[in-house]
Amino acid sequence: MDNAGLNDATTTVGELKARALAFARERDWEQFHAPKNLAMALAAEAGELMEHFLWDTPEASREKTAGDATRRARIEEELADVVIYALEFANMTGIDGAAAIERKMALNAAKYPVEKARGRSAKYDEL
Amino acid sequence: MDNAGLNDATTTVGELKARALAFARERDWEQFHAPKNLAMALAAEAGELMEHFLWDTPEASREKTAGDATRRARIEEELADVVIYALEFANMTGIDGAAAIERKMALNAAKYPVEKARGRSAKYDEL
Amino acid sequence: MDNAGLNDATTTVGELKARALAFARERDWEQFHAPKNLAMALAAEAGELMEHFLWDTPEASREKTAGDATRRARIEEELADVVIYALEFANMTGIDGAAAIERKMALNAAKYPVEKARGRSAKYDEL
Amino acid sequence: MDNAGLNDATTTVGELKARALAFARERDWEQFHAPKNLAMALAAEAGELMEHFLWDTPEASREKTAGDATRRARIEEELADVVIYALEFANMTGIDGAAAIERKMALNAAKYPVEKARGRSAKYDEL
């Protein structure tokens, strides 16, 4: 936490996982970090992220995240909380996040072939 | 997607974000990826992740994620879906994920000082 | 379940709670129905309800629920699942649902006075 | 809201729906209450309900809801918020909640026959 300056261009998933794990270990929190509990915490944080947009149109939600710096900082914090729990879930279960994402994106590509899915928001079984 | 072999040790957050963005662009899906919609999709995927653990004790949820490869693969897929939407949320809003996580972990560290939080699961305002 | 014909005009919350409880008891499921687990199950079902509307505008979501009977039946089922878990949560914790709703609506009325809240979607602390 | 004393034994679902609708109409909020938005709000409230139990064992969550009146009042409020949004979802979509629950419980009974499901928490496709 002390060496500021992380950014997406140079930070690996592994570094973020290591930070999340160290944070939990310093507090002796691994005992609480069962997958069930972490999934629940992640979903609760996802709820807090949604709360910023409940009554907005999708278009208005784009403007909201582009504007006002205070609002934007709070939204960033909610997103960070979601991802921190995802990282810790991966830590506790031994999942390699990057590999899992690569594999899932290949599955998604098969479910949503470019030629069928282009410009359409229908679920794969309704395409 | 075709060059397998991503892993957490060498993959940056930026690389994952670029893949998520390319996936959406190929399908002309940016029009649907308003922050409101992505937050909702992320939360819905978090719900699917939770579904694996609804009736388990926390302890049983540890065993479940350690055992059976089929189950484990499905859990990995749900976690990946959550993170893919988080990456795409960051793409659409211009958030730097690693920086946001670093900043939020500093805030969390202030809310949960090691000496007060160690071994305790209480919320910061009840510590 | 066999005597069809429940409807909102004549069915009390207590009758619905009794049915949800009987369903759980017949299956010896009260052992699984801890508040934590029921809250999680409820949230997971809320996720399934959301899945019908992820990429819709709010306006399109109104049309979707007004149209196509098959879609509508599925949406009804997801809403029912949410409420069944809420009823069972009330059963397991001894909460009187109607009283809780009456009390909460009074709190909400204080947070959102008609003259300030009319036609506005802002959260009470931003009104 | 003014005539206190609602309770589950005598309050119909229809009465609760009428109160939720009146609350929204007085504030001219129907314009915001698209199904998409209400599903999102419901899920966000479900997240707040979960927050009370994140790190508890299921057993501890039973004790938590049985004890401390302050905590209990807050949990009741979260549950009420979830159900208020469910009622308003039913209002906006013309769903009869009691009929939907009756129908869904019949479907659930077919998926979870007593003799197969008794004492087991497995999902129907794994029974």
Q: What is the mean pLDDT of chain C?
A: 95
At residue D1, the pLDDT reads 42
Q: What are phi and psi of B12, to 5 degrees?
A: -85, 160
Distance (Å) from the alpha carbon of A54 to chain D's nearest alpha carbon: 6
Cβ-defined contact of D57 to B54 (cutoff 8 Å): no
CB contacts, 8 Å: D42 with chain B: none
Residue B1 has pLDDT above 50, yes or no: no
At residue D77, the pLDDT reads 98
At residue C1, the pLDDT reads 42
Q: Say whether residue C40 is in contact with chain B using an 8 A CB cutoff.
A: yes
Cα angle: B60, vertex B63, B69; to 5 degrees: 130
Least confident of A37-46, A59-68, B44-53, C96-105: A59-68
Q: Is D67 exposed, middle or buried (0-12, 13-18, 19+ CB in 10 A)?
A: exposed
Q: Say whether residue A54 is in contact with chain C using an 8 A CB cutoff.
A: yes
Asked if D82 and D20 count as a contact pair (C-beta separation under 8 A), the reply is no
Q: What pLDDT digit, counting tens, does each position of B75-102 carry?
A: 999 999 999 999 999 999 999 999 999 9
Distance, CA of B87 to chain centre:
9
Q: Say whether residue A1 is in contact with chain C using an 8 A CB cutoff.
A: no
Distance (Å) from the alpha carbon of D110 to chain C's nearest alpha carbon: 11
| Pick from B50, B52, B97: CB nearest A83 | B97
Q: What pLDDT digit, counting tens, does each position of D71-109 carry?
A: 999 999 999 999 999 999 999 999 999 999 999 999 999
Distance (Å) from the alpha carbon of C25 to chain D's nearest alpha carbon: 9
Q: What pLDDT digit, counting tens, does each position of D1-60 carry?
A: 445 599 999 999 999 999 999 999 999 999 999 999 999 999 999 999 999 999 999 999
CB contacts, 8 Å: A40 with chain D: 50, 53-54
At residue C33, the pLDDT reads 98
| Pick from B54, B55, B121: CB nearest D55 | B121
Q: Which residues pair with C12 in a beta bridge?
A: D12
Q: Is A59 exposed, middle or buried (0-12, 13-18, 19+ CB in 10 A)?
A: exposed
Asked if D82 and C97 count as a contact pair (C-beta separation under 8 A), the reply is no
Joined tokens for residue B108: 């969390």
Q: What pLDDT digit, counting tens, does each position of B32-63 carry?
A: 999 999 999 999 999 999 999 999 999 999 99
Q: Say whether residue D70 is in contact with chain B using an 8 A CB cutoff.
A: no
Cβ-defined contact of D58 to B57 (cutoff 8 Å): yes
What are the Cα distances from residue A56, in Å, to A51, A72, C114, C121? 10, 15, 20, 8
Q: Say whether residue A114 is in contact with chain B using an 8 A CB cutoff.
A: yes
Average pLDDT for A80-104: 98
At residue A2, the pLDDT reads 44
Per-residue pLDDT of chain C (127 residues; tens, 9 = 90+): 445 599 999 999 999 999 999 999 999 999 999 999 999 999 999 999 999 999 999 999 999 999 889 999 999 999 999 999 999 999 999 999 999 999 999 999 999 999 999 999 999 998 8
The C-alpha atoms of residue D7 and residue C13 are separated, in whole angstroms, by 8
Average pLDDT for A63-81: 95
Q: Say whether residue C70 is in contact with chain A using an 8 A CB cutoff.
A: no
At residue A97, the pLDDT reads 98
Residue A3 has pLDDT above 70, yes or no: no
At residue C43, the pLDDT reads 98
Q: Give all chains having 3 or more CB-to-CB distances under 8 Å with chain B.
A: A, C, D
Count of positions (residues) in chain B: 127
Please give the model's pTM, rounded to 2 decimal places.
0.96
Size of the B and D interface in Cβ pairs below 8 Å:
18
Q: Say whether residue C43 is in contact with chain B using an 8 A CB cutoff.
A: yes
At residue D2, the pLDDT reads 44
CB contacts, 8 Å: C47 with chain A: 43
Distance (Å) from the alpha carbon of D105 to chain B's nearest alpha carbon: 19
